[in-house]
Chains A and B, each alone.
Chain A
Amino acid sequence: MGHRFLSIADPTNSFEWMIFLSKKYLSMFLEGTWLTLYIAVLGTLLGFVLGYVIGIIQDLKINQGDLFIKKILIRLIKVVSTVYVEIFRDTPMIVQAMIIYYGIRQTGVDLTPVVAGVLVTVLNTGAYMAETVRGGIGSIDLGQREGAWAMGMSPMKTMFYIVLPQAFQNIIPEMANTFLTNLKMTSVLNVIAVQELFMAAKTVGGNYYKYFESYLVIAVIYFVLCFVFNKIFGLIEKKMKGKEDYALAVEYLDNE
């Protein structure tokens, strides 16, 4: 049976066409999968970093006694980051891709589609992540910070040692969500000629005029990728929860 499938030379139904196409254009689909993963993983990770930076910036407070220049500077980067988040959340990624790719190329910089694709993903993810991080920070009880502040810890250190570790744990599901969204959203990057999965299906489908079958192939690939990552994230989340019990320090048991 398996042997017959792999040697279909003259496909007659859609299923056989799927087998035929994926066999004939295996390297194209594999390369498309690789590029999709590459852009999604790199774009998401860098986007997370950007999102955390912006989220932290938006949480900065100004003290009355701060230097004038520091006050101005903080206010300025806050305004810049707010504008950035607003712009990227309120425009479609497909339009951002076109504008960034052609815009940067117009200035004479030789930007490859893949780099542009990663850049768009980073900027888009960063904007959404910034809001998620801000929400995550806001979900941590103010008392956690006051406890640290009251012992002389600076707001920045408090953010890194106390607030962010807790916020991070709370927003893991949202981060997983963002990654899965990105994995699928890379498909819009075909408009700037990134040879990812969608582009591969488009090309393959065009060769035989078998669009339905061709897109079904990548649908399966997208599904498997997302399904596997979903399971992995589930495991990570479980692991991060930590133990329910703790060991008594028996060496100090007489002290109660």
Chain B
Amino acid sequence: MGESVLSIQNLSKSFGDHEVLRKIDMDVNAGEIICIVGSSGSGKSTLLRCINKLERQTTGKVMYHGKEVRDVQREINEYRAKVGMVFQSFNLFNNMTVLQNCMICTRKVLHISKAEAFDRAIAHLKEVGMAPYINAKPAQLSGGQKQRVAIARSLCMNPEVLLFDEPTSALDPEMVGEVLNVMKELATTGLTMIIVTHEMAFARDVSTRTIFMDRGFVAEDAPPSELFTNPKNPRTREFLSRYLAG
């Protein structure tokens, strides 16, 4: 296992009186594929958003390579350039073509040349099979295509960690497969991934570690072979049986 990349320490998050995350401790090592599962409202997405700093934690901290990411815009920007995120609702820039979507951040954040940004964009769009659509606007694509572009867009930044927030939850069933296949491919490249998902088969087959979250706690954190076949926590067992039955 690689060195520690991310370390979430004692992280809590409340919205008003409502405690969404309760004292989360979690270490992420280089190359890990972590799937976070759990029922709706268990805090999975909020945890991911806290890791990307889109949500400010109430207490606790996020450490990146042993250094705390403070709530200072410049530090946050630099950190996010290395820890990207793929959203449930894709969030492609509607005013830009697929190609522009994949070039804007490398150009304006990493300040690489236009030619290099173009090469990167094409290379990653090819990886996800979306290169023919470089001239299309997001509104002209299907959900699965949009998500594949969004993944390519994130990859253009050469991130160290990529966070996926329910990347297939907004997709029609027949499009789920194309996105999961892209993610499976990615998992073989050594990229560190944290994936919030409801796709149990994917979590079981692809992740190196599966985390079950329940009411804001990390209820169980184990290799998928253990978590799915022999869950220790009764809540995990209950959740999985409901999933497998449903």
Spell out A's residues near B (CB within 8 Å).
63-66, 143-144, 146-155, 157, 161-162, 165-166, 169, 242, 245-250, 252-253, 255-256
Contact = CB atoms under 8 A, between A and B. Distances in A.
A152 B77 contact: yes
Contacts of B108: 153, 157, 161
A154 B52 contact: no
B198 interface: no
Given A66-B73, A249-B133, A151 B80 contact: yes
Nearest to B71: A65
B94 interface: yes
A151 B135 contact: no
B157 interface: yes
Interface residues of B, number: 47
A147 B109 contact: no
A152 B70 contact: no
A253 B137 contact: no
Contact of A148 (B72, B76, B105): B105
A121 to B, nearest CB: 30
A151 B153 contact: yes
B94 A144 contact: yes
B175 interface: no
A250 B132 contact: yes
B154 A146 contact: no
Interface stretch (B82-90, B189-197, B231-239): B82-90
A166 B95 CA distance: 6
Nearest to B105: A151
A250 B131 CA distance: 9
Contact of B93 (A147, A247, A253, A255): A147
A246 B108 CA distance: 25
B104 interface: yes
B135 A249 contact: yes
Residue picked from A63, A151, A154, A242, most chain B C-beta under 10 Å: A151
